Structure formats: structure tokens, C-alpha cells
Amino acid sequence: MDVFKKYELPNDVMKEACSIYKELGSYLNRKNHILKVLFCIYNAYLNLDLTMDILILAYKMKVPRKKVKNVFKLCSPIETGYQFRQVRFTVEQYAKLYLENITNLTRHQKELVMNKYVLDIISKENKRLDGGLLTKEKSQSLAAAIIIYYLEKRKLLEALDEFKRILYRPMSTISTIMSTVGNVLNSDSRV
């Protein structure tokens, strides 16, 4: 379908998005059409069990961040009849997705973030008897905080700026989580 061709999507994602688009029918007016397209693409990823953050898609599609919250209201099952999947991705899955989208890091740096930072935090949090300080945080926010912590610690400012742009979310919550990330990572001085 022509509406999806300009977004450089994998073929399977494009086919699934087209299918969802047809299922939604003519619902939504032209003013909100981009939100319908965003909804279809995001749900195509979910239906195919592929990790995706709706805010990364919104950034790539140039949908204003403040409009993204309306996507699920406008395309709710009550309004459209379409039953979308609700999937929870792990911190590790989001971290991998985010790192794939940062072009200003080498493959080695991305592997370092995953192996030394993300997996280290997950391991430490799983070993804590109290469940850990970070277990209640949203997976997206925690993954972002870990990556930003690494980028700031290594003073990789170009990558940091790029990531904050791509992440497309407010930094206030993430900044709060970052101090806890630092405490957990430094709990045995391995950073």
C-alpha cells in the first residue's frame, strides 16, 4: 500500500501494517490519518513479535510527541473494533532496539553497553532479596537510563545527543533513574 512505502519498513512489517490498515477501514479523518498509519506500523511490529518503541516510530515518522498519546485513544477497540496486542518487552529487548538506532556508536561500544551495563544491572537486580531498586521502573525508561549513563560516563556527546533525539521522550524520569543505575553498577566497583 502506498501509504507505507515512504517509511522504509521491512516487507513483513509493511504487509502486516497494510492488513491492519484494511481492517481499520476508513476510520479516522485526514487530520488524524498519520496517527492511524503510526498505529498500524507499531501494531504490525507487535503482531510479528518484533521489539519496537512507538516513540522511536513517531520520531522517524515526524509525528509530534504530544500527539502520540492520542494514538491508542483514536484507534481503541471501542472506536475501531480492532483488538491490538498488548506486549511487554524486557529491558534487554529495549536496550538492543535503542542501540540499533544509534549510529554514532561502534559495534564494540554497543556490545559493551549490552554486556557490561544492561546485563550486569539485570543480574544484580535479580540477585537482590528485596527485588531490586530498579525492578519497578518501566523497561523503556530503564533501558534508556542505562544507555545514557554509559554515554555520559564515556563522554560520547554526539551519540548522546543522537540518542536523546531518537528516544523522543522527556528526560526527567530517565535522569532520576540514572542515579540509581550508577549506584547499582558501582555497588561492586566493576564500572
User: Cell 485526514 sits at which residue?
Assistant: 30
**What are the phi and psi torsion angles at 127 (to 5°)?**
-80, -15
Closest by Cα among 152, 147, 140 to 117 = 147
Q: Write out pLDDT tens, residues 15-34.
A: 999 999 988 877 666 678 89
- pLDDT score for 46: 96
Confidence of residue 190 (pLDDT cuts 50, 70, 90): very low
Q: Write out pLDDT tens, residues 27-59.
A: 666 678 899 999 999 999 999 999 999 999 999
Closest by Cα among 177, 189, 85 to 132 = 177
Coil vs helix vs strand at 26: coil
User: Does the structure show a pLDDT above 60 at 68?
Assistant: yes
Cα separations in angstroms, 67 against 18, 35, 36, 70: 22, 8, 12, 6
- pLDDT score for 135: 75
Span 60-71, average pLDDT: 91
* Other Cβ atoms closer than 10 A to 51: 18
- Count Cα atoms within 13 angstroms, Cβ side, for 126: 7
- pLDDT score for 147: 96
What single-letter amino acid sits at 133? L
Q: What 8-state DSSP symbol labels residue 32?
A: G
- pLDDT score for 130: 63
